[in-house]
């Protein structure tokens, strides 16, 4: 069995989630839009799930719109908001380490809809500089979209401070919370956010389900048209088993969060410290403390990430890399470049993301083979950089 | 077909052939960093690329008086495809008693690719630096032996086989300010007919951008 350290890519479905979903495939298969008892039972299951989630998010059920993925939620949030609020201004603000779902959506709006986009720089840890955010807001600004926690380097943004700045300037605030939801506070009142995107596949729920929280008074327009489901904001027959599974997954995450977060932070720091101590010429990417409990992102100088991954894979260890060779483009990760790493270091960054099935034994297995892998690849490599060469 | 299609057509991009894996895990003719290597034993040494563009190769050649390559040693910073390609290249030029340098100069990334039973399409560009490093080492041999007339000036290699566009053309386009594939294509028409060269062209654009604008 492999040691899976790629939980930020996706998680397995929790057995309890699978169980909760099971009856909504062949036994309770109704369309909640049907005016009959079968449909009604489906509608009840959906309403119950929406209610459960609204309790977790501390909002009303009508503020939750189910979608098909985190990416779709983000598209609905940004495109839907801009469509509905173009008359108020034509400027939106985001930042460089966002997921492609945000960056490409903004890119689209800039190219096709003539919207002005400001993409803020981040500091060396990946944090948005609050004073720069405030400076970037103009009379034309209608929306700020900044992620809660980064998928690659795990940096957690100062969401409350950002939402206060937005409130002060009467600008709406969207956050992509897909990576954060399993580990951090997602009480929307406490955080003060207007729009929040979540998905199921990062928190032991099914893939193919997401939701957008839209605060009452934050007007958005649909981007998918049809039968008018989800308060007219997302047409298409509701995916009842996945909605039920998503609610169950969020419920479990919420209930077990405290225990799991403590456990993961211990494992995470154990892994980070051991790598940094035992393998020379390595450093941690992302913020040392304002960081997701399950994220470890390390740069290994003189070696290329894909080669490390393939070697680890032979030992049954699954991780991911910011190297150009694993991306569709030929450039290293935009996140790694945004935090100011030079190209020669960006190719050797590896992300380990821990999760429910990660044990100390698994981490120890990784720690046992990793120095050998890096040592071997450094023997193959003609490059000999020092930490100083890359500004560390 | 647009760029997105070119990049996404290879769904199996993660799968390496057994030959690629074999050369990655058991590279032939490698010079490890700790290996004591007598530089004076080699009469052709070349290096191309840089870690900032993701690949760097160094090649050491021992060429005898009959212009046959008797030894080809190397070191490589790069992904599995790059390491396996360089390893295979070192085998091709030294097997069966060694290859004549005139023949070695004609080795194409495609030849290496074939012997590796194919690299994933998306990874093909990873094999292009190997033969460049070999070329640099052979040029070094020409320089050392006073055969300056035989030195192949770098930057005359055809990349677009239909429109006969060379890497020199790409270099000039980049120097002229074309910093994306689209802009280079506008200037040179590269890759319009011969789509197989697109990954290599992208690699070249990045390489020259790094070289001139960093």
Structure-derived torsion over alpha carbons of residues A372, A375, A381, A382, reported in degrees to the nearest 10: -160
What ranges do the domains of chain A cover?
Answer: 3-8+257-381, 15-253
pLDDT at B3: 35
Nearest to A382 among B58, B79, B80 (CB): B58
Contact: B79, A314; criterion CB under 8 Å: no
Contact: B24, A306; criterion CB under 8 Å: no
Judge whether A388 is closer than 8 Å to chain B, CB to CB.
no
Check whether A327 has a pLDDT greater than 70.
Answer: no
Judge whether A324 is closer than 8 Å to chain B, CB to CB.
yes
A255, with CB counted inside 10 A (0-12, 13-18, 19+), is: exposed
Judge whether B8 is closer than 8 Å to chain A, CB to CB.
yes
Q: Of residues B8 and B151, which shows the higher confidence score? A: B151
Indicate left, alpha or beta for A224 from its phi (over 0: left) and psi (-120 to 50: alpha): beta
Judge whether B80 is closer than 8 Å to chain A, CB to CB.
yes
CA B82 to chain centre: 9
Contact: B51, A302; criterion CB under 8 Å: yes
Instruction: Compute the distance between CA of residue A102 and CA of residue A181 in angstroms, rounded to an integer.
Output: 17
Contact: B33, A342; criterion CB under 8 Å: no
How far CA B53 is from CA of A265, A324, B121, B214, in Å, comes to: 35, 9, 19, 11
Residue A281: DSSP 8-state? S
Query: What residues in B contact A323, CB-CB < 8 Å?
Result: 54, 79
Check whether A324 has a pLDDT greater than 70.
Answer: no
Q: What kind of fold does domain A3-8+257-381 have according to CATH?
A: 3.90.1150
Contact: B83, A314; criterion CB under 8 Å: no
Q: How far is B23 from chain A (nearest CA, A)?
A: 12
Average pLDDT score over residue span A312-319: 94
Instruction: Compute the distance between CA of residue B142 and CA of residue B91 in angstroms, rounded to an integer.
Output: 22
Contact: A379, B32; criterion CB under 8 Å: yes
Q: Which residues contact A162 (CB under 8 A, 6 or more apart)?
A: A128, A130, A133, A144, A146, A173
Instruction: Compute the distance between CA of residue A293 and CA of residue A304 in angstroms, rounded to an integer.
Output: 26
Note the pTM of the prediction, 2 decimals: 0.86
Mean pLDDT of chain A: 96
Q: Which residues contact B21 (CB under 8 A, 6 or more apart)?
A: B80, B84
pLDDT-derived band at B15 (thresholds 50, 70, 90) equals: confident
Calculate ∠ Cα B178-B179-B180, nearest 5°.
Answer: 100
Q: Which residues of A are catalytic?
A: 325
Contact: B76, A343; criterion CB under 8 Å: no
- Where b means 16+ CB within 10 Å and e means fewer, A57-89 reads bebebebbbbbbbbbbbbbbbbbbbbeebeebb
A185, with CB counted inside 10 A (0-12, 13-18, 19+), is: middle
Tens-digit pLDDT profile for residues A208-257? 999 999 999 999 999 999 999 999 999 999 999 999 999 999 999 999 99
Check whether B6 has a pLDDT greater than 50.
Answer: no
Query: What residues in B contact A304, CB-CB < 8 Å?
Result: 54-55, 77-79, 82
Query: What residues in B contact A347, CB-CB < 8 Å?
Result: 51, 54
Q: How far is B172 from chain A (nearest CA, A)?
A: 20
Domains and CATH numbers, chain B: 13-150 (3.90.1010.10), 158-213 (1.10.10.1100)
Tokens of A175: 């956050």
Tokens of A65: 């719109």
pLDDT at B8: 38
Tokens of A207: 């893939």
Query: What residues in B contact A310, CB-CB < 8 Å?
Result: 16, 24, 79-80
Contact: B16, A324; criterion CB under 8 Å: no
Secondary structure of A245-279 in HEC code, one letter for each residue: HHHHHHHHHHHHHHHHHHHHHHHHHHHHHHHHHHC
Q: What are phi and psi of A357, to 5 degrees?
A: -85, 0
pLDDT-derived band at B166 (thresholds 50, 70, 90) equals: confident
pLDDT at B151: 84
Judge whether A107 is closer than 8 Å to chain B, CB to CB.
no
Query: What residues in A contact B136, CB-CB < 8 Å?
Result: none
pLDDT-derived band at A332 (thresholds 50, 70, 90) equals: confident
Average pLDDT score over residue span A348-360: 96
What are all long-range contacts of B71-75, with beta carbons under 8 Å and residues at least 24 apart?
B71/B29, B71/B42, B72/B29, B72/B134, B73/B29, B73/B30, B73/B31, B73/B37, B73/B42, B74/B29, B74/B30, B74/B31, B74/B133, B75/A380, B75/A381, B75/A382, B75/B30, B75/B31, B75/B32, B75/B33
Are A133 and A177 a contacting pair, CB within 8 Å? no
Tens-digit pLDDT profile for residues A66-91? 999 999 999 999 999 999 999 999 99
Check whether A101 has a pLDDT greater than 80.
Answer: yes
pLDDT at B13: 47
- CA nearest A327 in B: which residue? B122
Q: Of residues A279 and A391, which shows the higher confidence score? A: A279
Nearest to A302 among B77, B126, B206 (CB): B77
Nearest to B202 among A330, A382, A384 (CB): A330
Mutate to test the interface with B, among A325, A336, A373 (most CBs of B within 10 A): A325
Nearest to A310 among B50, B51, B80 (CB): B80
Mutate to test the interface with B, among A9, A100, A303, A307 (most CBs of B within 10 A): A307
Judge whether B125 is closer than 8 Å to chain A, CB to CB.
yes
| Percent of chain A clearing pLDDT 70 (strictly above) | 98
pLDDT at B11: 43
Average pLDDT score over residue span B41-68: 88
Judge whether B208 is closer than 8 Å to chain A, CB to CB.
no
Taking residue B189's Cβ as centre, other Cβ atoms within 10 Å add up to: 14
Judge whether B32 is closer than 8 Å to chain A, CB to CB.
yes
Judge whether B16 is closer than 8 Å to chain A, CB to CB.
yes
pLDDT-derived band at A325 (thresholds 50, 70, 90) equals: low
Q: How far is B94 from chain A (nearest CA, A)?
A: 19
Tens-digit pLDDT profile for residues A192-202? 999 999 999 99
Contact: A328, B8; criterion CB under 8 Å: yes
* Number of Cβ pairs < 8 A linking chain A and chain B: 85
CATH number for the domain whose boundaries are A15-253: 3.40.640.10
Judge whether B206 is closer than 8 Å to chain A, CB to CB.
yes
pLDDT at A328: 55
Contact: B122, A379; criterion CB under 8 Å: no
Mutate to test the interface with A, among B15, B18, B52, B79 (most CBs of A within 10 A): B79
């Amino acid at each position: 069995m492999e040691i899976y350290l790629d939980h930020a890519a996706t998680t397995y479905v929790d057995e309890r989630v699978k169980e909760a979903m099971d009856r909504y495939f062949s036994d309770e298969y109704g369309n909640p839009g049907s005016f009959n008892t079968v449909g009604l039972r489906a509608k009840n299951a959906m309403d119950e799930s929406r209610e459960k989630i609204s309790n977790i998010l501390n909002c009303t059920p009508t503020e939750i719109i189910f979608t098909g993925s985190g990416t779709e939620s983000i598209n609905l949030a940004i495109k839907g908001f801009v469509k509905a609020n173009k008359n108020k201004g034509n400027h939106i603000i985001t930042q460089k380490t966002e997921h492609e779902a945000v960056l490409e959506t903004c890119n689209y709006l800039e190219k096709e809809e003539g919207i002005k986009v400001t993409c803020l720089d981040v500091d060396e840890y990946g944090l948005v500089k609050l004073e720069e955010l405030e400076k970037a807001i103009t009379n034309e600004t209608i929306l700020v979209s900044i992620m809660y926690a980064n998928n690659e380097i795990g940096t957690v943004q100062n969401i409350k401070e950002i939402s206060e700045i937005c409130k002060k300037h009467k600008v709406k605030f969207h956050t992509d919370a897909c990576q954060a939801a399993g580990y951090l506070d997602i009480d929307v009142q406490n955080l003060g956010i207007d729009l929040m995107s979540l998905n199921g596949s990062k928190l032991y729920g099914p893939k193919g389900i997401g939701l957008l929280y839209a605060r009452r008074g934050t007007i958005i327009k649909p981007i998918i048209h049809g039968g008018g489901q989800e308060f007219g904001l997302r047409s298409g027959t509701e995916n009842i088993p996945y909605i039920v599974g998503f609610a169950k997954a969020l419920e479990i995450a919420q209930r077990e969060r405290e225990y799991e977060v403590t456990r993961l932070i211990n494992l995470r720091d154990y892994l980070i410290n051991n790598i940094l101590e035992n393998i020379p010429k390595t450093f941690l990417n992302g913020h040392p403390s304002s960081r997701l409990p399950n994220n470890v992102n390390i740069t290994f100088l003189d070696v290329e990430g894909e080669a490390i991954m393939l070697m680890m894979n032979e030992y049954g260890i699954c991780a991911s890399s910011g190297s150009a060779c694993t991306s569709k483009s030929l450039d290293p990760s935009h996140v790694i470049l945004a935090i100011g790493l030079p190209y020669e270091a960006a190719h050797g960054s590896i992300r380990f993301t821990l999760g429910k099935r990660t044990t100390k034994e698994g981490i120890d297995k990784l720690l046992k083979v990793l120095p050998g892998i890096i040592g071997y690849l450094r023997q193959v490599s003609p490059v000999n950089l020092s930490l100083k060469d890359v500004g560390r | 077909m647009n760029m997105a299609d070119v990049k996404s057509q290879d769904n199996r991009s993660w799968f390496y052939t057994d030959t690629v894996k074999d050369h990655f895990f058991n590279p032939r003719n490698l010079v490890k960093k700790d290996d004591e290597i007598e530089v004076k034993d080699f009469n052709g040494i070349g290096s191309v690329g840089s870690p900032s563009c993701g690949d760097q190769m160094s090649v050491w050649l021992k060429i005898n008086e009959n212009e046959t390559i008797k030894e080809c040693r190397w070191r490589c910073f790069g992904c599995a495809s790059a390491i396996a390609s360089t390893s295979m290249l070192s085998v091709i030029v030294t097997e069966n008693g060694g290859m004549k340098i005139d023949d070695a100069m004609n080795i194409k990334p495609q030849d290496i690719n074939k012997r590796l039973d194919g690299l994933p399409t998306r990874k093909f560009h990873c094999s292009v630096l190997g033969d460049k490093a070999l070329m640099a080492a052979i040029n070094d041999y020409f320089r050392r032996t006073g055969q300056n007339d035989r030195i192949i000036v770098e930057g005359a290699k055809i990349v677009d086989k239909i429109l006969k566009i060379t890497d020199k053309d790409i270099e000039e386009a980049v120097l002229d300010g074309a910093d994306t594939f689209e802009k280079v294509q506008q200037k040179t028409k590269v890759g319009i007919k011969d789509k197989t060269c697109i990954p290599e062209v992208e690699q070249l654009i990045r390489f020259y951008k790094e070289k001139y604008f960093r």
